[in-house]
């Protein structure tokens, strides 16, 4: 027996080969993951929530450290240590490794949380130094959006259908391509990241990205619920918790950007 998942983070070729190949739902390639063997502990929503809380705790502690290493002088100059970029690259590498090697999540997940926390702390301090109070607003906003998405999902107001799933995944991949294009263009001296400008268009695009990030939370909730029902092995709790933290971090960063664009219009 296998559980089908439609989360794009669960579709790497290496994982498909290792855990049972692929299946197709309405033309969408999905992953199969194993179910627990008789006598072994299965995944639970409660267990996944507990691990998610642990990873978020690591992110927060690490973010506090990253925050303290950013300095602001008397003239408003902001200095970010160079190792933040190394931490960012490390976090990205660990995220990719976790996606392709799900069973390593109990090791790579906490390591990712440490590095991502350092980066988030530094980024948050930069935003806070520029726009006083923005970090607290972004944190409250992230918590509020996550709670709202959970309520809407649990109440059935948002239903995860094949069309909904393909739409969210397609939009997410589109956003990723736009990010990559912007980074590559910037490396060659061209600034095409118009979505970072405090214009009506920039705000509208960023708001759309926030919505897509929020809808990814719904996919995460849906898959975790499916995993519990199907009896996926308990060790996968780390992987699904990692995916949830990944989405929450993305949502927080996009809310920071959205709020900064509103501040920038003043």
pLDDT at 231: 85
pLDDT beyond 60 at 236 = yes
- The whole domain housing 26 covers 2-264
Q: Nearest 5°: phi and psi at 233?
A: -55, 145
pLDDT at 191: 65
CA distance 266 to 256: 16
| Token pair 């855990």: residue | 19
pLDDT bucket at 200, cuts 50 / 70 / 90 = confident
pLDDT beyond 50 at 8 = no
pLDDT beyond 50 at 118 = yes
pLDDT at 7: 45
pLDDT bucket at 178, cuts 50 / 70 / 90 = confident
pLDDT bucket at 135, cuts 50 / 70 / 90 = very high
What is the percentage of the chain residues whose pLDDT exceeds 90?
62
What is the percentage of the chain residues whose pLDDT exceeds 70?
80
pLDDT beyond 60 at 3 = no
| Token pair 């939009």: residue | 171
Q: The pTM is what?
A: 0.84
pLDDT at 137: 96
pLDDT beyond 70 at 60 = yes
pLDDT beyond 50 at 147 = yes
CA distances from 211 to 12, 153, 157 (A): 25, 15, 16
> How do residues 13-40 score in pLDDT, each as one tens digit?
433 433 433 333 333 444 456 665 655 6
pLDDT bucket at 85, cuts 50 / 70 / 90 = very high
> Which tokens hold the place of 171?
């939009």
Beta bridge partners, 256, equal: none
Q: In the sheet where 22-25 sits, what is the strand order?
A: 2-5, 28-34, 22-25
> Which tokens hold the place of 227?
């995993």
Question: DSSP strand E in 47-166: where?
Answer: 71-72, 78-79
The alpha carbon dihedral of 164, 167, 173, 174 has a sign of negative
Burial label for 38, CB within 10 Å (0-12, 13-18, 19+), is exposed
Domain count of the chain? 1
b/e map 88-117, b = 16+ CB within 10 Å: bebbeebbeebbebbbebbebbbbbbbbbb
CA distance 52 to 147: 15
Q: Nearest 5°: phi and psi at 12?
A: -65, 150
């Amino acid at each position: 027996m296998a559980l089908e998942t439609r989360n794009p983070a669960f579709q790497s070729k290496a994982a498909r080969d290792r855990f049972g190949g692929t299946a197709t739902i309405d033309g969408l390639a999905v992953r199969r993951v194993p179910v627990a063997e008789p006598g072994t502990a299965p995944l639970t929503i409660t267990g996944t929530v507990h691990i998610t809380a642990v990873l978020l705790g690591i992110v927060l502690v690490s973010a506090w450290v990253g925050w303290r290493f950013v300095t602001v002088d008397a003239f408003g100059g902001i200095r970010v240590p160079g190792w933040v970029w190394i931490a960012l690259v490390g976090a990205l590498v660990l995220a990719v490794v976790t996606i392709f090697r799900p069973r390593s999540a109990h090791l790579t997940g906490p390591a990712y949380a440490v590095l991502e926390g350092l980066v988030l702390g530094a980024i948050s301090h930069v935003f806070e130094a520029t726009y006083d109070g923005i970090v607290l607003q972004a944190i409250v906003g992230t918590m509020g959006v996550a709670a709202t998405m959970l309520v809407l999902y649990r109440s059935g107001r948002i239903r995860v259908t094949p069309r909904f799933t393909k739409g969210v995944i397609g939009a997410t991949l589109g956003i990723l391509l736009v990010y990559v294009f912007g980074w590559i263009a910037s490396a060659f001296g061209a600034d095409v990241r118009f979505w970072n400008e405090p214009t009506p268009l920039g705000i509208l695009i960023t708001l759309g990205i926030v919505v897509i990030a929020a809808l990814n939370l719904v996919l995460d909730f849906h898959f975790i619920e499916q995993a519990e029902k199907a009896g996926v092995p308990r060790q996968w709790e780390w992987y699904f918790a990692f995916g949830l933290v990944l989405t929450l971090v993305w949502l927080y960063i996009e809310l920071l950007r959205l709020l900064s664009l509103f501040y920038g219009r003043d």
